[in-house]
């Protein structure tokens, strides 16, 4: 008997019939003797509907109240799933994040989990029940409801799995695994049966929408075996067949995995580039610029500081497009008056494209092939960022899909990786 956490996304919970299918799938696992904890998202579109109502009332509503509203979506889906399980003859009990409790900080709308108490969950599991825990939400030190931000149910599921020592966390979604890139952009994209934790972390951080990055970070920190698989298959398929499907995120680097120099192409349209021209080139200038941005709880991604010319330098960085206006406001209000700059130049129409693969560690010329491929397509590179297993570039967003298709072909990702002898 294994202890398994199931997570189901909004599409999987999108209708009464789909909730019934989720219940049938969970009941199958329970009948096979497994202890099961389920973490569901709100029904598809429900969170957007709720937040839309709030913004009809006020364009910039208070974050605490937004969390009060948004958390109800998961509460409804959890109760509905518990009822569906009971209709299948399975004892089930649902809990909100504050009932478990899932403890977080007070960063409303994007809180971070600090701890999860497992006593209630374990007591119900020992009593033979399936436990349903709301994803996406928790409670802060003052007893206020918090939410974890978009994709927070993935994070909740992996965090719960870590807290209870689950044998595996199964992330059920509307795709059947992790692909070499988005099949909607490149129809030839292939599903990977296995991906390393490091590659998945890079793919998630670089724009892959399959898993939320914080969920991958939790999986890595607590070494939670995690599998991504489809909830849209027949819920009653044999367990053995179901466990062979999807993509396993592994912590053991199989030698065969290195046969593929590049494992995947990630991309993000949600980028904005900001440049401060001619700021003083002196110690502490980067902190003087980015410190106030960080204090505003804005995440910065790629950073480039140019060579000093006549005692000044140009400083560029990227942020999520949703944070663009807030970032500009912080710079104009706090940074530019303090440090000075000849000009503030911004561009909301950029995209990030990245190649990822643990095989890049042991192969030379990977970045140059990327740059050559983009050059041949007439695509100009605006910024470059690298690590051991990835290279990212910022380009004009109108060329993003062309870049992804060209790179996918250049690195042979439409072909199965060669086997090592």
397-407 pLDDT, tens digit per residue, is: 999 999 999 99
Of the candidates 367, 386, 403, 363, the residue with the CA atom closest to the CA atom of residue 261: 363
Distance CA 89, CA 177 (A): 30
Of the candidates 300, 301, 420, 285, the residue with the CA atom closest to the CA atom of residue 354: 301
Which has the higher per-residue pLDDT, 344 or 221? 344
Is residue 326 included in any domain, yes or no?
Answer: yes
In CATH, what number is assigned to the domain containing residue 166? 3.40.1160.10
322 and 235 within one domain: no
Structure confidence at residue 258 (pLDDT) = 46
Quick one: pLDDT band at residue 73, thresholds 50, 70, 90?
Answer: very high
Is residue 342 included in any domain, yes or no?
Answer: yes
297 and 174 within one domain: no
16-43 pLDDT, tens digit per residue, is: 999 999 999 999 999 999 999 999 999 9
Is residue 7 included in any domain, yes or no?
Answer: yes
Is residue 415 included in any domain, yes or no?
Answer: no
How far apart, in Å, are the Cα atoms of 14 and each of 38, 184, 368?
Answer: 16, 21, 44
333 and 213 within one domain: no
Residue 43: Cβ within 10 Å count:
22
Distance CA 277, CA 304 (A): 12
The answer to whether the CB of 249 falls within 8 A of the CB of 225 is yes
Q: Are strands 35-40 and 130-133 parallel, antiparallel or unpaired?
A: parallel
Q: Specify the range with the lowest mean pLDDT, choosing from 194-208, 267-281, 293-307.
A: 194-208
357 and 337 within one domain: yes
**Which of 199, 221, 252 corresponds to the end of one domain?**
252
Is residue 421 included in any domain, yes or no?
Answer: no
**Which of 222, 252, 282 corresponds to the end of one domain?**
252
**Which of 195, 217, 252 corresponds to the end of one domain?**
252
Is residue 351 included in any domain, yes or no?
Answer: yes
Is residue 369 included in any domain, yes or no?
Answer: yes
152 and 12 within one domain: yes
In CATH, what number is assigned to the domain containing residue 302? 3.30.2130.10
Structure confidence at residue 96 (pLDDT) = 97
Coil vs helix vs strand at 8: strand
**Considering its fold, how many domains does the chain have in total?**
2
Q: Is 240 exposed, middle or buried (0-12, 13-18, 19+ CB in 10 A)?
A: exposed
- Residue 371 structural domain: 264-410
277 and 233 within one domain: no
Structure confidence at residue 134 (pLDDT) = 97
């Amino acid at each position: 008997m294994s202890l398994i956490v199931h997570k189901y996304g909004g599409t999987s919970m999108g209708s009464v019939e789909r909730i019934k299918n989720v219940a049938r799938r969970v009941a199958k696992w329970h009948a096979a003797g497994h202890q099961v904890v389920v973490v569901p998202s709100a029904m598809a579109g429900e969170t957007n509907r709720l937040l839309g109502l709030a913004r009809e009332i006020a364009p910039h509503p208070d974050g605490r109240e937004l969390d009060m509203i948004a958390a109800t979506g998961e509460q409804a889906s959890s109760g509905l799933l518990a009822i569906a399980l009971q209709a299948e003859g399975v004892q089930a009990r649902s809990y909100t994040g504050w009932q478990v409790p899932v403890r977080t900080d007070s960063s409303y709308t994007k809180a971070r989990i600090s701890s999860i108490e497992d006593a209630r969950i374990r007591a119900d599991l020992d009593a033979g029940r399936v436990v349903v825990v709301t994803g996406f939400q928790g409670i802060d030190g003052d007893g206020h409801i918090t939410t974890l931000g978009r994709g927070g149910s993935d994070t909740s599921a992996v965090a719960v799995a870590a807290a209870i020592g689950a044998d595996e966390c199964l992330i059920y979604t509307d795709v059947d695994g992790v692909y070499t890139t988005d099949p909607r952009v490149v129809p030839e994209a292939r599903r990977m049966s296995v991906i390393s934790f490091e590659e998945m972390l890079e793919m998630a951080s670089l724009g892959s929408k399959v898993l939320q990055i914080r969920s991958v970070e939790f999986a890595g920190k607590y070494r939670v075996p995690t599998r991504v698989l489809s909830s849209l298959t027949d819920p009653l398929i044999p367990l053995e067949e179901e466990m062979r499907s999807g993509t396993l995120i592994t912590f053991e680097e199989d030698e065969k995995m290195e046969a593929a120099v590049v494992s995947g192409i990630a991309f993000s349209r949600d980028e904005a580039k900001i440049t401060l021209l001619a700021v003083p080139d002196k110690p502490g200038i980067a902190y003087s610029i980015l410190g106030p941005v960080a204090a505003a709880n804005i995440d910065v991604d790629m950073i480039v500081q140019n060579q000093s010319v006549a005692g000044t330098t140009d400083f560029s960085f990227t942020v999520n497009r949703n944070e663009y206006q807030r970032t500009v406001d912080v710079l104009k209000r706090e940074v530019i008056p303090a440090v000075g700059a000849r000009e503030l130049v911004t561009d909301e129409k950029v995209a990030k494209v990245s190649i990822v693969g643990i095989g890049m560690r042991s192969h030379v010329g990977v970045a140059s092939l990327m740059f050559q491929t983009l050059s041949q397509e007439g695509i100009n590179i605006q910024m470059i960022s690298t690590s051991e297993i990835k290279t990212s570039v910022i380009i004009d967003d109108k060329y993003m899909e062309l870049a992804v298709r060209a790179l996918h072909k250049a690195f042979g990702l439409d072909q199965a990786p060669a086997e090592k002898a």
